[in-house]
Structure 1
Amino acid sequence: MVSLRKVPGAHQHPNLPGKVKVEEDVNSKAVPVDQETMPTIIQTVKEDLGELKKFYNITLSPTRFQKVEHYLEKKLEELSNITFGKLNQAGQVDYALLNNYLKSSLQRLRSDKVKDDEVLKLVGSFAFIIIELFEARQRIQKLDFQEVAALFTRADNSARDLKQAISSGIFRGKIERTIAYRTAYKLEELSSVLRDWHNFYLGYEPLYSWWVSQPYATFQENLSILIACIQTDLVGFDDSVKDPIIGEPIGRDGILADLDFEKIAYSPEELIHIGEMEYQWCEVEAKKASCEMGYGSDWRKALEHVKNMYVGPGQQIYGIHDLAIEATNYVKDHDLVTVPEIAETWRMLMISPERQKANPFFLGGNTMQVSYPTDKMSHEDKLMSMRGNSIPLSRSTVFHELIPGHHLQFHMIKRHRPYRRIFDTPFWMEGWALYWEFILWDKGFPGTPENRIGMLFWRMHRCARIIFSIKFHLGEMTPQECIDFLVDKVGHERATATGEVRRSFNGDYSPLYQAGYMLGALQLYALRAEVLQSGQMTEKEFHDKVLHENEMPIEVLRALVRNFPIDPDFRPSWKFYEKN
């Protein structure tokens, strides 16, 4: 009989046979940071955290939390040993960015732990078994598979008991919906991890198959039943509503913490006001274009006209290609930004009908991903997709995603200070792409009123994103109200509005991500005005400088570009929005 290797004095979870050793702390001895460059330190942090999270890859794991927390604390301590005043400007910027990143990561880690502890109060009786078994496998420790079979039986009994208790209504009204939603999500993660663990031993360890296969299969089946029960009885999933949108509002304190990380010197309420002011500007311009089109001040009728300017089946890829070439040639001919020849190589892919539920429009970056109907979609869905991706609506989306937008960004950030990718922020990434919609608008690129309506649709959409995303996280709007808001205020098709809201709150994006488009663009727009008015740089030099410095909060970029003093603990103070 094989059992887990016993290590005297090591940490042990009471449910796991044998004792599990916790390794020595990572980087327990301070690195002589005074002999290293800041880029090397930053790259080391990036790679170290990647390795830690790859090895301890269960987000509910207490060991993962302890390892990452300790690492972040040690790196902050090491960073404090560097003499800030002896660094050049680039080094001081890197120091401030890393200091901000480490402190924010620590805050987010601890904030997530508070939520995860609530999850473990509900499911810890069997979740710890999965966590400990998986981490034992990561260490290639021997297991007593007869004891493991007993553990799975115990875990299965706990899962079935919890499912019965939930079904009886004992937890109704006692567990917040967001915690229940998080619990279901975390259990799906554990189920996937457990499946990977099972496949590691299956067919290779004879005694594993003999003892564990059946108890494992039973537990996995009941775990799936439990997840569905949580989703239905505690989260409130309704069979009549397929794939509902729930999300996890982070509250005002959470927003303020994220704003501090992004170096935004505004309150959530002030940002909502900015979104409303920008929306009003868009509405005025939309009415002007609508009058030129013969619809008077009813810009929604003009938008309906523009939505119907779509191409037929099979033709979208050719239209998108032509729009991409048009925008690329425009910025090159007007000498607005450097476009290396190799950057003009990009591919086009099609987005599947399933993915279009969350991404109803184009996606970009290294490839142009086209959202358009396929022959298997319903007639209604086809028309919604075609209307939502008409040529005037697609025009700004194309250069937002390709050149001078995201594709050019990705090309540059791989070649200029690539170590700063760890400081990724939507205010720089998405702000840059939307900023170009501002610049090309000012230069008359839209041309026709139809194209102006198309560009204003997206600009309104970015204003709306500030409003609905922040209000959602403040607890002032539900996902359904967010959908209705996009339909009523921006003119979205309901299917595309639903996809946008799902994309915003399904957990793949940070809480301020959607607000980052417009706010980041406004920051870059204000910084450009400062630089050009001072005569410090030409427009092209400014654009190249932004790309060459790589990702960072825009106020830090401003200090770097304007050669302002940098503090180790950089505090935001810039009021970049002047409209009342």
Structure 2
Amino acid sequence: MRNPSILRGDSGKITNREEEHTTAGDFLGHRPPTARKNGAGAECISDRIVRVSRDLNDLNAFHKVRSSPQRYERIHGFFQTELDALEEVPFEIYDQNGKIDYLLLKNWLRYQLIQLQYHAEKDQRVLSLLGGYFPIRLAHIIDARQRVDDADGKQTASRIVEVLQHIDMVKSRIINGKEPVEHDIALHAANTLEELKEHMQEWWSFYKDYDPQFTYWVSDPYPKLDVALQDLRNTIKRVVLGIEPTDEEAIIGEPIGRAGISAALEVEMIPYTPEELIEVGRKEYRWCEDEMRKAASELGFQEWRNALEYVKQQYVEPGQQPRLVRDLMKEATTYVKKHELVTVPPICEDTIQMFMMSPADQKVNPFFLGGDSIIVSYPTSTMSHDQKLMGMRGNNIHFSRATVFHEMIPGHHLHMHYLSRHRAYRQLFSTPFSIEGWAYYWEMLLWDAVSWPKTPENRIGMLFWRMHRCARIVFSLKYHLGEMSVGECIKLLVDWVGHEQATAEGEVRRSVMGGYGPLYQAAYMLGGLQLYALRQEVLRSGRLKEKDFHERFLRANQMPNELFRALVRDEELDRDFKSEWRFYGGQER
């Protein structure tokens, strides 16, 4: 592989257009060379980020078992070594983008160590529930297969028989209810058992029939182990969580707690407490209610919920939703191009694909999704009558109009097009405050734009989603603080926003079971408010025109929005940068 050499500008600083030759040690994952005082010999920061990302992918692929002590030690050592090495690099050798990259990597490495410790502590509680012995024993067996250690079938069979005995003891203890178990630990344990089961299946397929001696000894105990792991998982679900193993409707999550939220806020550079952010959500909701009343009054309704019900009834007939979505995509794309708000590359516009969402996926995503493609959520003929009506009402014409430009152009689809083409190495620092914040920011801009046509029905559709974002801040943070149950979250979406019961359940299921971080749902509005406030700053200062601001954001790739603010304002940075941007002041409308 060819490695471009370093180039220098007049300042002598390393820029991120500039790369250097790397040593063999770098590619082997050894500590990178530290920089000399004048910057010569320093590892290009963008190269360092790519290397760290690739090394971590390799480590995670090799050390498969999440709860394995060996995995923890190896990955903890990797993060700590990289963080220590980064601290030795002279910060001043980099240009502004290089300093941003340095801060991004430092911030990310610190958070990875925090997350690793958090998961290790939770894994330890899971191991306690599962008796400790057998998960560790199975992890050792899987690790040995990864190293391709010499296999002793007779010894391995004996160990599996011991594991089976321990699983029986754990199952009996759980059934007899000898000790209380927190639901989040029980859920984590069930997921750990599923993970072990899958890895053991791969382990068995690696040796089966290829090694006759191994197969001879292990062919009897292994199938019993496979059944026992599934049976224990089912027992935990049934006895501790109170759900049937096949129940796909249950909504059970793992609240992360105040400490977890605080750590997430720190890495996202949001210098607010959870309570302050909840109040932002409430304040924005009150503004939305006032605007809902105005729109409802224009339609002749005294109660905005009655006007919302009127809007929900305006849906297209079965089979027509793809056509509606196609036309709405064209409308939004034409608008931003005509008004020169952002550059839309032809490839980005011309290669959009559309798919239909399956009924099963609609339980988690009741509204359509976007990004690389548009995935349309709409009832199918296989659904019940009530499900069909709720799905059609929830994806009505006016809700869909506001959703399309959020998901495609100028929202996610345009953003993702740029993300894969400009400073792509920064995708390691993926943040919903950038991704979802950008898409929501356009909801705010088009609401403000006089030239974007808006009937009262259109405005109600837009406000529905804004109220939804407000509710997301409140229910997601309160859920993770342990102050709201799943049922209360669903009720909030129905009462505050006017969701259908089914769509409210889908949204909460997605929030707590969809693999999202604790701040993801809050990040839509909060990230959008950050970008909205920053836009006001830069336009007032005359630093950038609106289109230039948008394209600086797209080409910067991903980072906490406060670091983008420092980048676009060319602020003086130091290696101990601390978040202090109080971006919300009840935004000017």
1:281 aligns with 2:283: no
Tell me, in whole angstroms, the C-alpha distance in 1 between the residues paired with 2:318 and 2:54: 46
Amino acid in the other structure paired with 2:410: P
- Say which of 24, 28, 33 aligns to 1:31: 33
Aligned twin of 1:261: 267
- Is structure 2 residue 362 aligned with structure 1 residue 363? no
Q: Does 1:472 align with 2:487?
A: no
Residue 48 (structure 2) aligned to one of 34, 41, 47? 41
Asked if structure 1 preserves the Cα contact closer than 8 Å seen for 2:340 and 2:547, the reply is yes
Aligned mate of 2:78, from 48, 57, 71 = 71
SS in 2 for 1:349: strand
Which residue of 2 is the match for residue 91 of structure 1? 98
Task: Say which of 304, 323, 326 aligns to 2:328.
Answer: 323
The answer (yes or no) to whether the contact 1:99–1:569 under 8 Å persists in 2 is: no
Deviation, structure 1 residue 215: 0.8
Match of 2:227 in 1: 221
- Partners of 1:306 and 1:454 within 8 A in 2: yes
Structure 2: which amino acid aligns with 1:424?
A: S
Asked if the contact 2:34–2:88 (Cα under 8 Å) also holds between the matched residues in 1, the reply is no
Tell me, in whole angstroms, the C-alpha distance in 2 between the residues paired with 1:234 and 1:31.
52
Q: In 2, distance between residues paired with 1:394 and 1:311?
A: 11
Extract unaligned runs of 5+ from structure 1. 1-25
| Contact 1:130–1:190 (8 Å) recurs in 2 | yes
Contact map agreement 1:125 1:158 (CA 8 A) in 2:
yes
Distance 1:28 1:341 in 2: 43
Cα drift, residue 439 of structure 1: 0.3
Partner residue, 1:496: 503
Q: Where does residue 382 of structure 2 map in the other structure?
A: 376
CA contact (8 A) 1:265 1:573 kept: yes
Matching of residue 146 in structure 1 with residue 133 in structure 2: no
Contact 2:341 2:547 in 1 (8 A): yes
Q: Which residue of 2 aligns with 1:19?
A: none
Equivalent in the alignment of 1:243 = 249
1:311 aligns with 2:345: no
Q: Distance in 2 between matches of 1:487 and 1:238?
A: 26
- Please say if residues 368 and 374 of structure 2, whose CA atoms lie closer than 8 Å, have aligned partners that are also in contact: yes
Q: Is the 8 A contact 1:100 1:569 kept in 2?
A: no
1:120 is displaced (CA, Å) by: 1.2
- Does residue 1:167 correspond to 2:175, yes or no? yes
Following TM superposition, by how much is the alpha carbon of 1:484 offset from its aligned partner in structure 2, in angstroms?
Answer: 0.6
Quote how far apart the aligned CAs of 1:236 are: 2.8
Which AA in structure 2 matches 1:526?
A
Q: Distance in 2 between matches of 1:311 and 1:576?
A: 40
Q: TM-score by structure 2 length? A: 0.92
- Give the distance between the partners of 1:507 and 1:404, measured in 2 at CA: 25
Question: Relative to structure 2, which stretch is displaced further, 107-116 or 124-133?
Answer: 124-133
Deviations 1:378-401 (CA, angstroms, capped at 9, x unpaired): 111111111110110011111111
User: Does the C-alpha gap of structure 1 residues 133 and 241 become closer, same or farther in structure 2, counting only changes over 3 Å?
Assistant: closer
Aligned length: 553
Give per-residue Cα distances to partners, 1:208-246, cap 9 Å, x unaligned.
Answer: 332212211111112111111111222232689753212
Deviations 1:526-570 (A, max 9, x none): 000000000111100000000000100000110110111122122
2:454 aligned to which of 447, 453, 468: 447
Structure 2 CA distance, aligned partners of 1:397 and 1:190? 40
Are residue 520 (structure 1) and residue 522 (structure 2) matched? no
Contact 2:67 2:123 (C-alpha < 8 Å) held by counterparts: yes
Residue 508 of structure 1 corresponds to: 515
Hey, what's the Cα distance between the residues in 1 that align with 2:469 and 2:392?
Answer: 21
Name the counterpart of 2:354. Answer: 348
Root-mean-square deviation (Å): 1.6
Any stretches of 5+ residues in structure 2 without a counterpart? 1-27, 36-40
The residue type equivalent to 1:219 in the other structure is: L
Report the residue type matching 1:102 in the other structure. Answer: L
- 1:302 partnered with 2:304: no
User: 2-side partners of 1:313 and 1:227: how far apart?
Assistant: 41
Instruction: Decide which of 121, 128, 131 is 2:136's aligned counterpart.
Output: 128
Scaled by the length of structure 1, the TM-score of the pair is 0.93
Contact 1:468/1:482 (<8 A) preserved: yes
Aligned to 1:211: 217
Shift of 1:63: 1.1
Superposition deviation, residue 430 in structure 1? 0.3
From 482, 486, 491, give the equivalent of 1:484: 491
What's the offset of the Cα at 1:350?
Answer: 1.1
Asked whether the equivalents of residues 422 and 557 of structure 2 are also in contact (C-alpha less than 8 Å), the reply is yes
Q: Compare 196-205 and 63-72 and name the one that shifted more.
A: 196-205
Amino acid at match of 1:277: K
Match of 1:11 in 2: none
- Per the TM alignment, residue 35 of structure 1 is displaced from its structure 2 partner at its CA by 2.5
CA change 1:415–1:154 in 2 (3 A) is same
Distance 2:402 2:514 in 1: 27
1:369 alignment partner AA: I
Determine the structure 2 residue equivalent to 1:570.
577
Q: How far 1:30 sits from its partner (Å)? A: 4.3
SS in 2 for 1:85: helix
Provide the identity percentage.
Answer: 50
Determine if contact 1:423/1:551 at 8 Å carries over to the other structure. Answer: yes
Which one of the candidate residues 337, 340, 361 is aligned to 2:342?
337
Question: 2:190 matched to which residue of 1?
Answer: 184
Q: Retained in 1: the 8 A contact 2:197–2:229?
A: yes
- Amino acid paired to 1:575: R
Aligned counterpart, 1:3: none
2:33, 2:42 within 8 Å by CA — same for their partners in 1?
A: no
1:477 match: secondary structure = coil
User: Does the residue aligned with 2:573 lie in a helix, a strand or coil?
Assistant: coil
Change (3 A) 1:149 1:240: closer
Q: What's the counterpart of residue 252 of structure 1? A: 258
CA–CA distance in 2 between the matches of 1:56 and 1:310?
50
Matching residue's letter, 2:429? F
Q: Is the 8 A contact 1:247 1:507 kept in 2?
A: no
What amino acid sits opposite 2:546 in the alignment? E
Q: State whether residues 441 and 529 of structure 2, in contact with CA within 8 Å, keep that contact through their aligned partners in structure 1.
A: yes
Conserved in 2, the CA contact under 8 Å of 1:76 and 1:99?
yes
For residues 190-201 of structure 1, the aligned pairs below 5 Å read 190-201=196-207
Q: 1:408 aligns with which of 414, 421, 427?
A: 414
CA distance in 2 between partners of 1:328 and 1:463 (Å):
27
